[in-house]
Amino acid sequence: MSIAIYAGSFDPITNGHVDIVMRANQVFEHIVVLVMQHSQKTGWLSLEQRVALVQETFSDHPSITVETASGLLAQYAQKRGIQTLIRGLRAVSDFDYEAQMALANRDICPGLDTVFFMTSKEYAYLSSSVVREMVQHQASVAHLVPAPVQGMIEL
């Protein structure tokens, strides 16, 4: 079975992430959405909250499962015996960082490849930080996040 890891902070998961996962699942039979502990980024939601929201978002999709990890993604992939990472690309500004990460991951774990999916144009500007900023200023994000995230915001 073809399997790939889509790792990120998902703080919170957005419709941009969902779009990448669903499209990647057309290419790979199984997607592991890997919610990472924050390393440098200052967090908004706790790891438990982020995982719960991702789990709820994909609860109707048995071919998409959720796991968590801290430490190096490449080491986690190696431990799980998974050789493909999925990442999303929005603008040229994502490219430098993503290229660096893809090369570093291959350096740590030879044979580990990164497959990039280009954002859908309606999500090209969307990031978790845009959502966090909008929520902080009471702007509606209902069109930008999956229902479980919207539900949490409305609480």
Question: Could you list the active site residues?
Answer: 17, 41, 90, 128
Rule CB under 6 A: choose which of 87, 112, 135, 144 binds ligand ADP: 87
Interface map 103-122 toward ligand ADP (x if CB under 6 A): ----------------x---
CB 7 within 8 A of CB 73: yes
127 binds ligand ADP (CB under 6 A): yes
In whole angstroms, the minimum distance from the beta carbon of 13 to ligand ADP comes to 8
Nearer to ligand ADP, 3 or 94 (CB): 94
90 binds ligand ADP (CB under 6 A): yes
| Eight-class DSSP state of 110 | T
The string of DSSP codes covering 9-41 is --TT--HHHHHHHHHHHHHSSEEEEEEEPPSSS
Nearer to ligand ADP, 90 or 106 (CB): 90
What are the helix and strand counts (H, E) for the chain?
A: 6, 5
Rule CB under 6 A: choose which of 28, 88, 148, 149 binds ligand ADP: 88
Edge-first strand listing for the sheet containing 3-8: 64-69, 30-36, 3-8, 84-89, 113-118
Q: What Rg value do the Cα atoms of the chain yield, rounded?
A: 15
- Residues 80 and 146: their CA atoms lie apart, in Å, by 28
Interface map 2-21 toward ligand ADP (x if CB under 6 A): ------xxx---x-xx--x-
The residue ranges that bind ligand ADP (CB under 6 A) are 8-10, 14, 16-17, 20, 87-88, 90, 94, 119, 123, 126-128
